[in-house]
Amino acid sequence: MASCKIIVNMTIFIVKFIVAVAVVIGLSIIAEKSSPRIAGILSGYPTGSAISLFFFGLEINPEFAAKSAVYNMIAIVAMQAFIYFYYKASLKFNMVISSLVAIVGYFVIIWLLHFIELNTFVAILIPITSIFLFFYLFRPIKNVQIENKVQLNLKVFFIRALFAASIILFITEIAKLVGPTWSGLFSAFPTTLFPLILIVHFTYDKKHVHTIIKNIPIGIFSLVLYSLTVSIVYPFYGIYWGTLMSFGVATVYLVAYQLFKKLRMFFKTKREFLKELDEAEKDWEKHGGKSLSQMKKKYKL
């Protein structure tokens, strides 16, 4: 029985480790090839949490995983606090000091959250409120594209994978050494997001990291929806169909958001075009030209 538990724990760790490294590398490439904005949005997509909740359901039962999903959402507040502290510190300090400020700030927020008496309603309300709060706080940040991109090759991939793996292993080992209480605090640590921020900051500039940070609250809403869906469907449909349905809901949100952005941009562009056309017509009339209505009457259009 003990050996089976060890095997299961090792399997969970290996799967989470491989997925985490792959996510970090993938998002860093997306930041370069597409944009840091897209990488920021996608960084909120459920990966590590999804694996943990799935194995909770597999090892214990779907009901336990469903309950954990609700309370897991409270960690979203601390994660957003982490990136906020990093953003504010990086405006004045280097990458190392910014990281230390973010880590300390993260644990302060986690410690403060422990004083809140949680129930399902509060556990849902707090992260959703925090998303709107941090979305507002990050509004002044401008979306910046990466212009001078590094050449991607096996050496770059290997260095990034090694760096991401080192950060993830360090956090995991520290969590093992500090005991169960602090280990629980480490469980909410942004193990994939932190290496991504450091890779982009080291390779390019802090303004590119800020673009990623600006768009994280938008993507994190998919994690809230994922956790909520798990809490509803796991007890009824089990972990396999439940996981598939939860990923479906999270994916639909991200696709819908992108479509909304494109439609909004289309109508905004149309309004701006019509406004410029109206101003051009007024300028034409001001300098003795005929208006469109006069031209229609003249040529009987």
To the question of pTM greater than 0.85 for the whole model, the response is no
Structure-block tokens of residue 96 = 């190392």
Write out 171-231 in H/E/C secondary structure.
HHHHHHHCCHHHHHHHCCCCCCHHHHHHHHHHHCCHHHHHHHHHHHHHHHHHHHHHHHHHH
What is the structure's pLDDT at 271? Answer: 64
Rounded Cα distance between 103 and 194, Å, is 10
pLDDT of residue 277: 59
d(CA 132, CA 244): 27
Which pLDDT score is estimated for 211?
92
d(CA 225, CA 131): 12
Distance CA 156, CA 33 (A): 15
Taking only the tens place, the pLDDT of each residue in 101-114 is 999 998 888 888 87
Confidence of residue 285 (pLDDT cuts 50, 70, 90): low
Instruction: Check pLDDT > 80 for residue 92.
Output: yes
Please return the burial class of 135, using the count of CB atoms within 10 Å of its CB with bins 0-12, 13-18 and 19+.
middle
pLDDT at 178 over 70: no
Q: Between the CA of residue 43 and those of 65, 76, 274, what are the distances in Å?
A: 23, 12, 37
Give which of 1, 29, 39 is closest to 214, Cα–Cα: 39
Q: Higher model confidence: residue 229 or residue 162?
A: 229
Query: Does 66 score more than 80 pLDDT?
Result: yes
Total count of residues recorded for the chain: 301
Q: What is the DSSP letter of 94?
A: -
Q: Identify the band that residue 237 occupies on the pLDDT scale cut at 50, 70 and 90.
A: very high
Residue pLDDT, tens place only, 103-158: 999 888 888 887 777 777 888 888 899 999 999 999 999 888 877 777 766 777 77
Q: Is the pLDDT of residue 258 over 90?
A: no
**Span 18-43, average pLDDT:** 78
C-beta neighbour count of 179 within 10 angstroms: 9
Residue 90 has pLDDT above 90, yes or no: yes
Average pLDDT, the chain: 79
CB 185 within 8 Å of CB 107: yes
Is 36 in a helix, a strand, or coil? Answer: helix
